Structures are given as C-alpha cells and as structure tokens.
Amino acid sequence: MPPFLSFFRTLKMPHLTQNQGLSKQELSSAHACRPQCAACCIAPSISAATPKHPQGKAAGVRCGHLTQHLLCELFDSPLRPATCKKFHFDIEVCQQDAASALKVLETWEILTKPSSANL
Ligand code: SF4
Ligand code: SF4
C-alpha cells in the first residue's frame, strides 16, 4: 500500500465511505479494477520521477503514461513507480465509478498536503 494510502486508512472519514445509493453489498461486488477509470493515475500526486514526469506528477494531472485506452504504458516496466505498483483496487477508494474515485482521491490529496496536516 502506498504511503499516502496507509495514512488515509488511519483516518476516520465516514463521508468517504458513503455512496450514491448503492448498498455495501452492491459496492463490495465491484471488487476489481475498472476499465476506463484511471482515477488513481490522475488525482494523486506522484513524487517519483518517470520519463514523462521527470519532476514527478502533480495532483490532478493526467499521467502522461496513460494510453488513449487509459492503460499504463509502463505497467511491466521497471520505470513504473513503486507507488503505482503497490496501489490496488480498494472499494473505499475506488467506489462505484471513476467520478466517485476521483472525489475520494482528491479529498485525500488535499488532506495530506503538508500545509493542511495540522488542520
Ligand atoms: S481508481 Fe481503482 S478502479 Fe480506478 S483505475 Fe485505479 S484501482 Fe482501478
Ligand atoms: S505510471 Fe502508470 S500506473 Fe503510474 S500513474 Fe502513470 S499511468 Fe498510472
């Protein structure tokens, strides 16, 4: 699990587990990474350098290594950041659709900014 996720999972943020009318059972049934999502390749900042982001990727920026089909062109490459390799589908993060996942990840990104750490 990437460091930012480890941190997030220690927080009690019940609003992040709320959904748009789906039961917990319905949410749990969606247990695999969705095609055409890529929320986790857009919302979070990634500090590790990659060929297309030599200074790391800023939050909210679509990773340059996403293909037109929203797949990772570095998936099997040693150049793929460790943070990405460790990130796996988690219903609390991924929710039921890409838009919801983006909201969760954007919120987490804001909450873990150094300037907001003590708020
Ligand atoms: S946010 Fe979740 S469902 Fe979407 S691409 Fe990433 S791991 Fe897959
Ligand atoms: S390197 Fe690959 S897995 Fe990592 S953010 Fe970019 S597209 Fe996603």
Whole-angstrom distance, CA of residue 105 vs CA of residue 91: 12
Residues 39-93: pLDDT tens digits? 999 999 999 999 999 999 999 999 999 999 999 999 999 999 999 999 999 999 9
Task: Give the number of whichever ligand sits closest to the CA of residue 32.
Answer: 1
Quote the tokens at residue 43: 């919302």
SS3 110: helix
What does the pLDDT read at residue 21?
Answer: 52
> 104: CA distance to ligand 2 center in Å?
18
Q: Which of 46, 32, 42, 31 is nearest to 103 (CA)?
A: 42
Tell me the sheet residues that pair with 50.
Answer: 53
Quote the tokens at residue 81: 């950041």
Q: Looking at ligand 1, which residue's alpha carbon is closest to its atom 5?
A: 38
Whole-angstrom distance, CA of residue 8 vs CA of residue 13: 9
> 61: CA distance to ligand 2 center in Å?
11
Is the CB–ligand 2 distance for residue 84 below 6 Å? yes
pLDDT over 90, % of the chain: 66
